[in-house]
Structure 1
Amino acid sequence: MAIEEKDENSSGEVSVEQIFETQSIPSWREQLTVRAFVVSLILGFFFSFIVMKLNLTVGIIPSLNVSAGMLGYFLVSVYTKVLAKFGMLKHPFTRQENTVIQTCVVATSGIAFSGGFGSYLFGMSDIIAKQTEEANTAQNTKTLQLGWIIGFLFVVSFLGLFSVVPLRKIMIIDHKLIYPSGTATAHLINSFHTPQGAKLVKRQVYALFKCFVCSFLWAFFQWFYTAGDDCGFAAFPTLGLKAYQNKFYFDFSATYVGVGMICPYIVNISLLAGSVLSWGIMWPLIEAKKGDWYSDKLSASNLHGLQGYKVFIGIAMILGDGLYNFCAMLVKTARDVSMNCLQKEATSVLPLAGRPSPNSSVSFDDMRRKEIFVKDQIPTKLAFLGYALLAVASIITVPHIFPQLKWYHILVTYIFAPVLAFCNAYGCGLTDWSLASSYGKLAIILFGAWVGLGNGGVLAGLASCGVMMSIVSTASDLMQDFKTGYLTLASPRAMFISQVIGTAMGCVIGPVVFWIFYKAYNVGVAGSEYPAPYATVYRGIALLGVEGLGSLPKNCLTLCIIFFIAAFLLSAAKDFAKHMKWRVQHFLPSAMAMAIPFFIGSYFSIDMCLGSLILFLWRKFNLRQAEAFAPAVASGMICGEGIWSLPSSILSLAKVKPPICMKFLSRSTNAKVDAFLTG
């Protein structure tokens, strides 16, 4: 579906920008239309529900850029065609406006993830603190309220946008960073607005809509059988009751099957491998040590019992993988920058490997895109002033929200944050991998230890994580969007404003959507529909920072060290194999993905592997069709069940309960129940 970017001189084919050469480019003001932001608001709210559901369950969020661009194209196209039919259309729908919509929607729904509703923010709550039974004090917990959550997000979510704006030309034009997700999204948007692409996208949207309806109706049907705990298709012991007790079952979730179709095969296989290693081998063996390694009188959620092994070994793997990627990214960034600086001195051009040499002719596309990209500049003074003003506002405001953090803690964060934001944005351009969560975990440990347990170090660490993650995450997101805008000739100024407006929308929509989940369900409770497992993980990291390693249960530290080293070496081996272009790189699992089932369970990994199997077979039978329609089908499955969360939440708030409980019992238990009922 993507348009091949070939220069006419070299291949005889018309290049991308020559296809659009006859179309005038709207000014940056004309790209920022009212209809674009109305559609962005609708889709942003829609996608925030999907992201929030995934955030509060498994924490794996697939890229929704394609869905946002596709649905944005569809909605505005329908609107403009209706206006044109009645002779009322004044402005045609352009690819630049489509880019603005996609940017705004992703920025809005991105806050549902980076806002920490399933991680650091919810980890502050007494719900998670009571489950861990550690540091459950007023100094280390905070009552969740909609007002301060919105205020906190507003004062910390915009700094990352201003921190990397002055570097946009260096990264996009001078260093020619790829930003794979931004580039792929741009190709799709360019394709949508060609005659052939417009026909294909209609078929894709139709496929998405059909899967959306089926997924929504399937979720609605399942609701009728969930009148009690462990009821319904989500508790179906597909592989037997014993396997179900160890979290091995298929829960009939269209969402996770769809996510599995989008995620790479190796991610899903890694999840399954982690499930087998933890719930199939390790936890049964450690549970057999009850009374020896840990007291048999502890509750199931106590971090000094089996739960401690689940949480801290998973954390060790996440930190091992994160540390390697953090170090590797710093090395790659430093090496790449130094090489480009040396080449600049020699040739005044900064080519990277695999790109045209300085002596080769510059393509028509490159000249056209560079001309537009440098046209509407965002004043550097404005970026510095904006960062300074927002930093001052944050330094004043955040300590009032979190008294455990002092003004000098925030000041230190904002001094180092631009450097880390640059590293993350640059590394994301090279590898498409954002390490925002790694920077956040580092902030948890450093600031938690700085403040100390008695002074509210747990809460201080989690809050500082939110400050750091917001900056480095939005910085890389903005640069991805700049790359998309560069390839679609969207104005950088329009892209920046769209990102700001989308972030502002997200700072309100994200908390409101979370509040609906929070009030309608038992969010954060182990075994519930929305367990928010990462909230426990982030709080566990904060506890490690303030209490030290001595707080771990018996032999847990030894196991943590083993798995930390194993994760580090596995990530290094995978990276080395990729560098050497060995085929084994495709078969080495991801340590980060393996760690996720350690404290969640195995059910979703089975769902996601089924999604991979469906995609694999589809590609075997019809590769072209699979490549064109698989993202749309997967997005429809995710969106349908995801949006069911809204009416389901409303029914729950209205105290409307399902009429049936479908539960499965063993033969012996069923005989006892029958005897009890007949007796």
Structure 2
Amino acid sequence: MSSIIQQSTAEGIPVRETVKTKWEEKLDLPQITWRASLAGLVIGSIVLISNFQFGLQTGWVSMMSLPSALLGFAIFKLTPIAKDFTDVENVFIQSVAVAVGTGPLAYGLIGIVPAIENFLTAEESGLGRKLVFSLPDLLIWSLGLALFGVFFAIPLRKQVIVEEKLPFPSGSATATLISVLHGTEILDEEKDTQSIAEVGEEGIATADDIERNVQASTDITNSIQTPEEFKELSDTKNYKSNISNLLYTFTVSAAYTLLAYFFPVLKSLPIFGRFLSDSYKWNFQPSPAYIGQGIIMGLPTVTYMLFGAILGWAVLAPLSKYNGWAPGDIDDWMHGGQGWILWISLSVMISDSLVSFLVVVYQSVVAGVRKLNELNQETDDGSTEPLLRESDSSSNEDSRNTFFKAVNSVKKAAERTATIKDVPGKYLVNFKVTLIGLVASSVLCLVAIRLVFGKLIPYYAIAVAIVLALFFSILGVRALGETDLNPVSGIGKLSQLIFAVVIPNNHPSKILINLVAGGIAEAGAQQAGDLMQDLKTGHLIGASPRAQFIAQLIGTMWSVVLSSVMYKVYNSVYRIPSEMFRIPTAVIWIDCSRLVTGEGLPPKAFEFSILFGVIFGFISLLKNIVPKTSKYYKHLVYLPNGVAVGIGIYNTPNFTLARFLGGALSYWWINIYNKGSSSSPGTNSKINMIIFSSGLVLGEGLLSGFTMFLTSLGVKHF
């Protein structure tokens, strides 16, 4: 069992060892280290600044787990201590970084808080005055939302990662990248149960098993299929090329950001003519970060967004202005075309999210009932008969046999579950800590909300919001695991719909309560999903789940402080909202609250919202119920996704055009440029593409901090 697989590896790439060495024995390697914690906090801070910049501009944020893992490896690769830097320590770094970087979204600092400060009227607050958060208020608010989502995820790990083996594409792709960088194998989930059954209690697969089953469980890269392809990715030349690409694109993006500060015309090039640019906002912003985001999103998504931009800004907004329904300037949120089409955008996104949500609930319930039925029907002789059938009074012997068959069936099911590869209990977060954490974090949330808002938010509303957050976290984690999309936006909107019923319509703070409740639900789903992606990465690499949990806590606590400070800094340096920071997510939150609580809509907005809501609800139903085996399934890609269309409608066209360019570039990169490659197009190209795009996003995001400094000094534009 101590044998190793001797594979030809490039210089500097260690040989790969058995499953036991790679997996079980890794658990005892140092993971929670000062150097890993510091590196994770630094990288996460860079991601956080980037997410703040783009979150306030466009509502878009990213986990950045892949570039975080790559940057963590690069930091140690360039230092003398790289020789004892392990893949599991790299997992710890990216777990800390992700927890830090996603703070702006998790704590509502790009949506809910700006909505309350900038758009909530004095009457809607329930106090007769506007609400403005102080720094202590932001710290308390963020801390209240920061932890319960982390504890929600812990009980779900075994079910969705270990037993069901949901793919979690981003988490799996990050594991693939880390394994490539360190020259190690990732866990073969297709083979782990069978291997354990073959070799006994030790749970160790043979070298032959590993060699036959090298694979990469990722839907994003979809690349590594054989040891030879894995070796190609591990090659030192490819590693250096990836680092060079990251640095090059980072530099180009940073240079554009600095240049655009001094020459603002670069942010709105009138490629369609001055009239369309000034009157209808059809211009182009050649932002490298926007292009990089489009590369990550892919061509189908950005095409749907482009369809939404054309529908909203070339058809509906001009129509509303022409007919006098929205007589203001086209980009006026209150009286112009942008404010009018926002309601249609909301209708499209809510309809799509609700239909998808209901289908997921139905499918989850059906799957659970099916599994329960299978358990009840299986007998110890392999036949199937109901175990919970009605007893026959004429045959006590049959009843006794049925009882013993049920006991044996349950015992066998437990034995099968026990053979699934998982880490020993001492490396897991125990039940007592989980339970105490759930209770304590929920109480902390309740207390924090009351400290910030006082009696405006009743206790029962907070309690209901936390319970909903727990339920939504389960659904969000499952959706993320299967599709790589955490529907936090839809979850927030759904919670707003529910609270429109929970809170009396005559309550003076109904709008405020609606916003806060949505923020609590979104925070729980967001954090639970982020941690589950990290846990998937760690599971495939062989990291300790308890260490990753600690990484999440470290990153979260730092993110609470840094996110609150950065929000105040942005508001002190820039005028928000403004042409540069339009905070579209905040507008959507406040208008959705008004919509569900019965506030009035602009002329004809209701009729158009109903029409498009029905259309996209039907499209969402088709996309969710047509099975993949159907001959019509491949044609569903031509039906637009409601959420993507809604985003295209409510953002100005320059937001979408650059992303569409990125999506087209990604399609060309994978399907045309690499089509004639001697290696599989998926082998290197997709990972290289992700690294390329990450440099574009990080460069502009990080330099935004420097341009903010220039703004605070009053450095003038040309």
The answer, yes or no, to whether TM exceeds 0.5 is yes
Aligned match for 2:240, one of 178, 182, 202: 202
Matched residue, 1:672: none
1:142 deviates by: 1.7
Matched residue, 1:670: none
Matched residue, 2:289: 255
Matched residue, 2:673: 621
In structure 2, C-alpha distance between the alignment counterparts of 1:617 and 1:392, rounded to whole Å: 51
1:36 deviates by: 0.6
Q: Give the TM-score taking structure 2 as reference length.
A: 0.79
- Counterparts of 1:519-668 in structure 2, within 5 Å, are 519-525=572-578, 528-548=579-599, 551-577=600-626, 579=628, 580=630, 582-619=633-670, 620-623=672-675, 624=681, 626-658=685-717, 660=718
In structure 2, C-alpha distance between the alignment counterparts of 1:275 and 1:468, rounded to whole Å: 29
1:300–1:112 distance in 2 versus 1, CA, 3 Å: closer
In structure 1, C-alpha distance between the alignment counterparts of 2:379 and 2:167, rounded to whole Å: 20
In structure 1, C-alpha distance between the alignment counterparts of 2:659 and 2:363, rounded to whole Å: 32
- Counterparts of 1:493-532 in structure 2, within 5 Å, are 493-525=546-578, 528-532=579-583
1:165–1:388 distance in 2 versus 1, CA, 3 Å: same
Deviations 1:372-422 (A, max 9, x none): 365512111211111112222222231221232111211222334323322
In structure 1, C-alpha distance between the alignment counterparts of 2:424 and 2:173, rounded to whole Å: 18
In structure 1, C-alpha distance between the alignment counterparts of 2:128 and 2:497, rounded to whole Å: 17
In structure 2, C-alpha distance between the alignment counterparts of 1:110 and 1:175, rounded to whole Å: 26
1:212 deviates by: 0.5
Matched residue, 2:521: 468
1:647 deviates by: 0.6
- Counterparts of 1:222-371 in structure 2, within 5 Å, are 222-226=260-264, 232-244=265-277, 245-290=279-324, 293=325, 296=327, 301=332, 303=334, 306-345=337-376, 370-371=421-422
1:29 deviates by: 7.8
Matched residue, 1:362: none
1:305 deviates by: 5.5
In structure 2, C-alpha distance between the alignment counterparts of 1:537 and 1:240, rounded to whole Å: 30
Q: CA RMSD in A?
A: 3.0
Matched residue SS, 1:402: helix
- Tell me whether 1:120 sits opposite 2:112 in the alignment: yes
In structure 2, C-alpha distance between the alignment counterparts of 1:30 and 1:378, rounded to whole Å: 17
**In structure 2, what residue type is equivalent to 1:546?**
T
1:118 deviates by: 1.9
**In structure 2, what residue type is equivalent to 1:246?**
Y
1:649 deviates by: 0.5
1:504–1:369 distance in 2 versus 1, CA, 3 Å: farther
Indicate the larger mover: 150-159 or 160-169.
160-169
In structure 2, C-alpha distance between the alignment counterparts of 1:626 and 1:609, rounded to whole Å: 19
Matched residue, 2:85: 93
**In structure 1, what residue type is equivalent to 2:466?**
Y
Matched residue SS, 1:566: helix
8 Å Cα contact 2:168-2:484 kept in structure 1: yes
Aligned match for 1:211, one of 245, 249, 252: 249
1:140–1:202 distance in 2 versus 1, CA, 3 Å: farther
Matched residue, 1:39: 39
In structure 1, C-alpha distance between the alignment counterparts of 2:48 and 2:477, rounded to whole Å: 23
Matched residue SS, 1:142: coil
Q: How many residues align?
A: 610
8 Å Cα contact 2:44-2:98 kept in structure 1: yes
Matched residue, 1:145: 134
8 Å Cα contact 1:140-1:457 kept in structure 2: no
In structure 1, C-alpha distance between the alignment counterparts of 2:103 and 2:176, rounded to whole Å: 25
In structure 2, C-alpha distance between the alignment counterparts of 1:17 and 1:560, rounded to whole Å: 59
8 Å Cα contact 1:168-1:482 kept in structure 2: yes
Deviations 1:348-381 (A, max 9, x none): 99xxxxxxxx9xxxxxxx9998243655121112
Matched residue, 1:169: 158
In structure 2, C-alpha distance between the alignment counterparts of 1:427 and 1:633, rounded to whole Å: 27
8 Å Cα contact 1:523-1:530 kept in structure 2: yes
In structure 1, C-alpha distance between the alignment counterparts of 2:294 and 2:329, rounded to whole Å: 36
Matched residue SS, 1:372: coil
Matched residue SS, 1:592: helix
In structure 2, C-alpha distance between the alignment counterparts of 1:139 and 1:469, rounded to whole Å: 28
Matched residue SS, 1:463: helix
- Counterparts of 1:57-96 in structure 2, within 5 Å, are 57-79=57-79, 82-83=80-81, 92-96=84-88
In structure 1, C-alpha distance between the alignment counterparts of 2:577 and 2:710, rounded to whole Å: 20
Matched residue, 1:111: 103
8 Å Cα contact 1:140-1:456 kept in structure 2: no
**In structure 2, what residue type is equivalent to 1:53?**
Q
In structure 2, C-alpha distance between the alignment counterparts of 1:447 and 1:102, rounded to whole Å: 36
Deviations 1:220-259 (A, max 9, x none): 1222223xxxxx1112201212331322222121111111
Q: 5+ residue gaps in structure 2? A: 8-14, 185-230, 381-408, 410-416, 676-680
In structure 1, C-alpha distance between the alignment counterparts of 2:333 and 2:581, rounded to whole Å: 19
8 Å Cα contact 2:106-2:145 kept in structure 1: no
Matched residue, 2:395: none
Matched residue, 2:678: none
In structure 2, C-alpha distance between the alignment counterparts of 1:139 and 1:388, rounded to whole Å: 34
Matched residue SS, 2:581: coil
**In structure 2, what residue type is equivalent to 1:222?**
A
- Tell me whether 1:442 sits opposite 2:434 in the alignment: no
1:328 deviates by: 1.4
8 Å Cα contact 1:369-1:489 kept in structure 2: no
